[in-house]
Amino acid sequence: MSNLLNLNNIDAGYGEFDVLKNINMYLDKHEIVALIGPNGAGKSTILKSIFNISDIKSGKIFFEENDITNKQTYELLNLGISYVPQGRINFATLTVKDNLLIGAELIKDKKKVKDNLNYIYSLFSVLKTKRKHLAYSLSGGEQQMLALGRALMDNPKVLLLDEPSLGLSPKLVKETFETITKLAKTGLSILIVEQNAKQALRMADRTYLLENGQIALEGNKKLLNHPKIKTIYLGGQI
Amino acid sequence: MGTIQKNNIIETLKDSQKAFWLILFVIDIIFIFLCLQGILNEYFAHVLVVINIYLILSISLNLVMGFTGLLNLSHIALFGVGAYTSALMIMNGYSYLLSLLLAMLLPGVFAVLLMFATRKLKSDYLMLVTFGFSFLLYSIFISWTSLTRGPLGLNNIPKISFFDFTIYSTNQFLVFSTIMAIVSIIIIYNITKSSFGRLLQAVRDDEISLKLLGKNIELIKFKAMFISGLFAGLAGSLFAHYSQYIEPNSFWIVDLIFLLTVLIVGGLASNRGAVFGVIIIMILNESLRLLPIPSEILGPTRQIIYALILILILLYRPKGIFGRIDLK
């Protein structure tokens, strides 16, 4: 129970529709954990059940040994959990700076907000140069950085990332993954859902493979050589 | 290179924003001075008073429609609630300040109740229901004859008086309404520039993302509607005591169309747009009087011109003169 985030026997879904069956997993401090698996396996639903967007039928979720099952969104954010949904959602007609500041709405200390803003600018320098531009004018990669930056504005301990590489060019995918690795080194724990199994396995400290709402495999980087992963997800060879 | 140019343009726009308000203020002061000196006649003072009242209305409607993105067509009805409340309170012997307070609070509460009833609705559907609300209140104004005297309207509404001071002349009312309009503009301007204003715009852009940031969307909408209702009520109260006569048709579709035209021409989600729109359309409106057309044709001509302006704006400048967003 000394892990940062624990999912114990989670059954979850949407209304009457069950997706996850008996999920047990954990996330440690400074760790990157990847969730891979085919479409509809329930990868995103795991993130959504942590962030209380999907309906948890049974089981409990613990964060720093506190029960966070069914907590309100603002309570989760205050505890230090941030969620970046799929598809680079930004506030299109707000400036880049305003987009970032909205991520820090829960912080009352103005100096802290300013420090965080400067930290994000140092992390993603393009956001600084384009801080007065409207969000919709950014490129796909920049919008992903903005969404990431906004999630980082309220000093999270855990970042839940839903397919940050979606729709990005190979070069940008590489850059995004490098940023995520960099973030983990600053002490952040990251739970990432990824379609790009090979990249995810290389980056993550540990990986869970999901199939039909259940964890089929679990392991560290050595999972790359697992015959099942090789044949089904990586096209037979690496 | 492109970035540098773009930044320069933004800087210039920022400066021009200050210049815009300053120029407007100076022109306003000059006109008021000319009116007070008797160089401009009472007709000018009257037009300026009407502009002031519409300024409060348009800038407060812009807060919900432009900034928060709620297609709210109930504003004219809230204006009416403010006018009737203020008139009836004063006619029943209450003080002006108390009447004004209630005339602002009641539309605010109505706006929140309407928002509560329509909290699940968006865009066109919200527009239809809020439009229905305007019809509903219109029929209340017409049918509740024991209170509102129905189509006869309320006449002999007393002038504004507070602290042993009564506003008699049009010129005095001009000064009073100008102060009210400027205060309203300053308050709403500061709201839109605050972090709350940022949240309003975030609601407009993407409600779900904002929910994921732990914000209570409904509460934000209620607050926006309440503030907007307060100022609609203020405008209503000013209108009632200025014209001293109100009837249901003062709060009907014609004025709603005027308000919408103003916002679309000026530009949504821009305070400058909301102010500039009123001035432009009012000048156009009044200059039509100078044309040699009989008064029974004047009304329909105005409607045709509004329609024409709207079509031209939507064709060639869909964001309006100062606007930042398209009408969705």
Over the stretch A69-110, which tens digit does the pLDDT of each residue have? Answer: 888 888 888 888 998 888 767 888 888 999 999 988 888 888
The answer to whether B90 and B82 are in contact (CB under 8 A) is no
**How close A185 gets to chain B, by Cα (Å)?**
24
Q: Is some CB atom of chain B closer than 8 A to the CB atom of A106?
A: yes
Which among B10, B195, B201 has CB closest to A91? B201
Of B270, B271, B277, B269, the closest CA to residue B313 belongs to B277
By C-alpha distance, the chain B residue nearest A53 is: B212
Does A105 sit within 8 Å of B199, measured CB to CB?
yes
Higher pLDDT, B229 or B316: B229
DSSP string, A69-119: TT--HHHHHHHTEEEE-TT----TTSBHHHHHHHTTTT---HHHHHHHHHH
Q: What interface predicted TM-score (ipTM) does this complex get?
A: 0.80
Over the stretch A16-34, which tens digit does the pLDDT of each residue have? Answer: 888 888 888 988 888 899 9
Q: Is some CB atom of chain B closer than 8 A to the CB atom of A127?
A: no
Specify the CATH number of the domain B41-316.
1.10.3470
Over the stretch B86-140, which tens digit does the pLDDT of each residue have? Answer: 999 998 888 889 999 999 999 999 999 999 999 888 888 999 999 999 999 999 9
**How close B214 gets to chain A, by Cα (Å)?**
4
SS3 at position B40: coil
Chain-centre distance of CA A164, in angstroms?
8
Torsion angle, alpha carbons of A82, A84, A85, A91, to 10 = 110
Sequence ranges of the domains in chain B? 1-40, 41-316
Q: Is some CB atom of chain B closer than 8 A to the CB atom of A74?
A: yes
Does A93 sit within 8 Å of B325, measured CB to CB?
yes
Does A102 sit within 8 Å of B202, measured CB to CB?
yes
**How close A233 gets to chain B, by Cα (Å)?**
31
Of A201, A152, A156, the closest CA to residue A179 belongs to A152
Domains and CATH numbers, chain A: 5-87+157-233 (3.40.50.300)
- The pLDDT assigned to B32 comes to 86
Read off the pLDDT band of B63 (50, 70, 90).
very high
Read off the pLDDT band of A195 (50, 70, 90).
confident
For the entire predicted model, the pTM comes to 0.85
pLDDT at B326 over 80: no
Which among A51, A76, A91 has CB closest to B209? A91
Tell me whether residue A164 is exposed, middle or buried, using C-beta atoms within 10 angstroms of its C-beta: 0 to 12, 13 to 18, 19 or more: buried
DSSP string, B162-208: ETTEE--SHHHHHHHHHHHHHHHHHHHHHHHHSHHHHHHHHHHH-HH
SS3 at position A37: coil
Q: Is some CB atom of chain A closer than 8 A to the CB atom of B10?
A: yes
Chain-centre distance of CA B39, in angstroms?
29
How many C-alpha atoms does B318 have within 13 Å on its Cβ side? 5
- The pLDDT assigned to A104 comes to 87
The answer to whether B66 and B319 are in contact (CB under 8 A) is no
- The pLDDT assigned to B13 comes to 59
Over the stretch A114-164, which tens digit does the pLDDT of each residue have? Answer: 998 999 998 888 888 988 888 888 888 888 889 889 989 988 999 999 888
Does A90 sit within 8 Å of B198, measured CB to CB?
no
What CA–CA distance (Å, rounded) separates A12 from A83?
18
- The pLDDT assigned to B82 comes to 94
